[in-house]
Structure 1
Amino acid sequence: MTTSTKTTKLGSPVADAIASQNAAIDAALRDNFNRTVAMFERVRAVFTQQRATRQAYRELSELNDRELADLGIARSDIRNVVRGKFPSRV
């Protein structure tokens, strides 16, 4: 009676097991890398949004009360305007 083991190109079950483990490790590393890249992209997006918010706040704060009134906002509304929580009158 002979026993048959399935082998691939590498020729031995041990080599096949090592190749399988290496493939699993490569897949896990790729997945972790992709998750890390996605996390940094989210962080970058948050910083970009914060920078845009600060710039809008700064620009609106530099306007005088008359210019703000022409835009339909009061100086006390600037914070809500840049946060997007100002009710639209359109």
Structure 2
Amino acid sequence: MRSLALIPAAFLAACATTAPEPDPVTGSLPFFGTGYRFMNDSCRRLGEDDYTNQFLDDSADLVGCPEDMENLGVFVTDTGAIEVDRREGFVIYSVPRG
């Protein structure tokens, strides 16, 4: 009889929602899109979450680029990007729109 009592508990535990696993490439940063400026660029826009909302600005895009990206300096010069943080192997920039 005791084992029957455990079945509902096991079922509920299996149904519980868990936080998504971090992506092995992008970690837990909320990237979206296929590239920033051009399709398949290494840099990508970042969405809003508890971490990134401190950097969001209505007049700028929040963009993450791999720290080891070869043309990082060119990206900064071309876009006017301002580094706001580094996390999980990415440089996070605020890129002014316009």
Q: Which TM class, normalised by the smaller chain length?
A: 0.3 to 0.5
- Greater RCO between the two (CA within 8 Å, min separation 6)? 2
- TM superposition score normalised by structure 2: 0.36
Structure richer in helix, relative to its length = 1
What TM-score do the two structures reach when normalised by structure 1?
A: 0.38
Structure with the greater alpha carbon radius of gyration: 1
